[in-house]
Amino acid sequence: MSDAASEIARLRAALAASEARAAAAESELGQARAVVSTSEAMIKHLRLEIAKLRREQYGHSSERRDRLIDQMELQLEELEAAATEDEIAAEKVAKTMTVAGLKRRRPARKPFPEHLPREHVVIAAPTACSCCGSDRIVKMGEDVTETLEVIPRQWKVIQTVREKFTCRHCEKISQPPAPFHPTPRGWAGPNLLAMILFEKFGQHQPLNRQAERYAKEGVEISLSTLADQVGACAAALEPIHALIRAHVLAAERLHGDDTTVPLLAKGGTQTARLWTYVRDDRPFGGDSPPAALFHFSRDRGMANPNRHLAGWQGILQADAYGGYNDLYRADRDPGPVESALCWSHARRKFFELADIKGNARKGKPAHDISPIALEAVARIDAIFDIERGINGLTAADRQVARHQLSRPLVEELHDWLRAERDRLSRHNPVAKAIDYMFKAERWPAFTRFLDDGRVCLTNNAAERALRGVALGRRSWLFAGSERGGDRAAFMYSLIVTAKMNDVDPQAWLADVLARLPGTTASRVPDLLPWNWKASELRRAG
C-alpha cells in the first residue's frame, strides 16, 4: 500500500473515531440535559409539596402564599414538560448508539377511577406460534393495558311525544299533560341550563365565549337566547335564594367583606363592589350548615351594609372599614351590631414591614427590616398557634382555652405595643401599624374573641368566599349593568353555598332546575344544598 493510501486510511479511521466520540458526547449531553430537567422538576415538586404541607400544618395561608403556590404549580408544569422533551430526545439518541438510555424516575400513577365505564377492545389472537409456526397453540392468559380516553361532549334533542286519543262515546280528546320545563318558553333541558349557569358564574366564562364554543361543536345558540335563559333561571331559582338568604341572616355571627368589580358605564368602567356575608359555625362545632349571601352595589358607601343587614343583630366579623360603623351605633334599630375585627388584617400590616424576602425583592437593604414589626408578628403568630389547636371545639371549650392560654398573650401584646408606640414618631410605618389596632377604640373589637367562643380570630371565611370573584375578574372583564351585577351576586350566593357544603354546584343546579317546577312550596327546603346532599347520600346507599 502506498504512503498516500495509508494516510487516507488513517485519516478515515481517525474521522470515524472522532464521529463516534462526537456521537457519544451528544448522547451523554442529551442524557445530562434530561437528568438536569428531571432534577429541576423534582426539586420544584418537592418545594411545592413542602409549601402545601406548611399550609395544611399552619392553617389557611396568606394571599401571598396562595399566589406563590399557584406560581410554583405553573413552573412545575413547565419543568415537567421540559423534562419529558429532554428524556424523549435522549432516548432517540440512545437507540442509535450503544449507550444506555436515561431511566427517569416517575411518580406512581394512581389507578383509573372505578366508576368510569370500561370499553373492551380485543386484539385478534395469533393463529400460529410466532416462533415455529405451529398451529397447536393454547390460551394461557391475557394482559390488559388501560388507556384513559375522553369522548367529546355530545348534544342531543329529546323529543317528548304525547299521544292524543279521542273517545268514541263522548268525542272528548284525552292527552297526557305537557312536561314541566325549568323555565318559561323552555327549550333547554336542566343539565344544559346548569352548565350555562355554572360556566358563566362558576367558571367565569362569559356567554359570548360559550356561544362561540357551542357553534364550533355544531350547535348555534345566539347570545341573546343564552342571556334570556340565564334571566329565566334566576327567576326560577328565586325560592332557593330566598331560603339561603333567610338562613344566613338567622345567624348570630356573620363574616362580612367586599371586593371590587368593574362595572360598564358610559365612556368606560367604574369601580363597583361585590359584598358577601358568610355564615360558618364549623369553627366552634356548630350544627348549622355554612352558607354565603352576596350583594352588588355601585359604590362602597355606608348605606350598602346598612341595607344588607337591616333588621339583623349579632356579631359581625369584618375589617376596620368605616362603612360598617353605622351598624355599631347604640341607638340602631333593632339594636347595635357587635364588632369583631380580623387579626389577619392587623398581622398583615406588621408582616409587610418584617418581610425580609419581600423587601429584598424591592431592593431594600436588610437594615430596613423593622425589629419591632418582626417581634409583633412573632407575638401574634403565637396567638394563631393556639387557635389552630382549638378549631372545631365547642364554643364553651374554646372560651376556656382562650381564657387560659390566649388572654395572657394578648394582654402582654397590648402592653408591649403601647410601650413601643410611645417611643415612635407618628410618621413611622410601625406606628401606623400599631395605630390600626388602637385607633377609634378598636382594641375591644380585636379582643372580643376572648369572651365569646363563637368568634373567630380572623375573617378568612369571607375572604375565601370572595376568592372566586377575584380569580374571575380577568375572564368576565366587567358587569354589563347594575342588574347584571345583582344577578351575578344572586348566582354567587347559590354556587358558593353549594361549594361550602361540598356539593357539586353544576349537578345540584341541574337537579334543582329539573325538580323545582313540580315541587310544592313546603318541599322547596329539601332542595337546599345541605338537605340535597343528604338525600343524594341516602339514594346512593
pLDDT number for residue 99: 46
Q: What is the 3-state secondary structure (H, E, C) of 373-391?
A: HHHHHHHHHHHHHHHHHHC
Cα dist. 9→3, 12, 79 in Å? 10, 5, 47
* pLDDT score, position 521: 93
Q: In this predicted structure, what is the pLDDT of residue 39?
A: 67
Which residues on neighbouring strands pair with residue 316, listed in sequence order? 254, 339
Q: Check if the beta carbon of residue 396 is closer than 8 Å to that of residue 453.
A: yes
Tell which wins on pLDDT, 161 or 96: 161
What is the share, in percent, of the chain residues with pLDDT greater than 70? 79
Give the relative orientation of helices 371-390 and 343-354 as an angle to the nearest 10 degrees: 140
> Is it the case that residue 541 has pLDDT exceeding 70?
no
- Selected residue with higher pLDDT from 481 and 372: 372
For 235-302, the DSSP string reads HHTHHHHHHHHHHHHT-SEEEEEEEEEEEEETTEEEEEEEEEEEE--GGGT--SPPEEEEEEESS--T
Instruction: Summarize the confidence of residues 42-68 as an average pLDDT.
Output: 58
pLDDT above 60 for 271: yes
The pLDDT value recorded for residue 209 is 87
Q: pLDDT band for position 78 (50/70/90)?
A: low
CA 295 to CA 318: how far, in whole Å?
A: 16
Q: Are 461 and 278 in contact (CB under 8 A)?
A: yes
Angstrom CA distances, 416 to 33, 297, 350, 384, 448, stand at: 55, 41, 14, 18, 19
Mean pLDDT for the stretch of residues 423-449: 92
Which residue would you say has higher pLDDT here, 541 or 539?
539
**What is the arithmetic mean of pLDDT over 69-84?**
55
pLDDT-derived band of residue 102, with 50, 70 and 90 as boundaries?
very low
Can you list the alpha helix ranges (DSSP code H) found in 369-481? 371-390, 395-401, 407-422, 429-438, 443-446, 460-476
pLDDT band at 80 (very low <50, low <70, confident <90, very high): low
Least confident of 21-30, 163-172, 511-520: 21-30
pLDDT greater than 60 at residue 64: no
Per-residue pLDDT band at 13 (split at 50, 70, 90): confident
Comparing 101 with 8, which gets the higher pLDDT? Answer: 8
Residue range 145-159, pLDDT digits in tens: 888 887 878 899 988
Q: For the residues 46-66, what does the mean pLDDT come to? A: 57
Question: What confidence category does residue 261 fall into, taking pLDDT thresholds of 50, 70 and 90?
Answer: confident
Q: Report whether pLDDT(421) > 60.
A: yes
Mean pLDDT for 485-490 is: 90
pLDDT range class, residue 357, cuts 50, 70, 90 = low
Find the mean pLDDT for residues 139-168: 85
318 exposed, middle or buried (CB, 10 Å; 0-12, 13-18, 19+)? Answer: buried
**Average pLDDT of the residues in 100-113:** 61
How far apart are the C-alpha atoms of 508 and 525, rounded to whole Å?
A: 13
Residue 291 has pLDDT above 90, yes or no: yes
Q: What angle do CA 501, 503, 507 make, to 5 degrees?
A: 155
Local structure of residue 324 (DSSP, 8 states): G
Average pLDDT of the chain, as a whole number: 84
Lowest mean pLDDT among 23-32, 253-262, 277-286: 23-32
Q: Does residue 101 have a pLDDT over 50? A: no
Q: Look at residue 458 and tell me whether its pLDDT is greater than 80.
A: yes
Identify whether the C-beta of residue 279 lies closer than 8 Å to the C-beta of residue 301: no
- Which cell is 304 given? 350598602
Other beta carbons less than 10 A from residue 273's beta carbon: 19
Give the pLDDT confidence score for residue 247 in this predicted structure. Answer: 98
Digit-coded pLDDT (tens) for 190-231: 999 999 999 999 988 888 889 999 999 889 988 888 888 888
The predicted pLDDT at position 509 comes to 96
The set of cell numbers assigned to 289 is 350548615
Q: Which of 84-98, 355-369, 410-424 has the highest average model confidence (pLDDT)?
A: 410-424
Cα separation, 364 vs 356, whole angstroms: 9
204: alpha, beta or left? (left if phi > 0; alpha if psi -120 to 50): left
- pLDDT mean over 233-238: 91
Tens of pLDDT, residues 404-414: 999 999 999 99
Taking the C-alpha atoms of residue 327 and residue 323, their distance in angstroms, rounded to an integer, is 9
CA distance 162 to 174: 10
**The three cell numbers locating residue 43:** 426539586
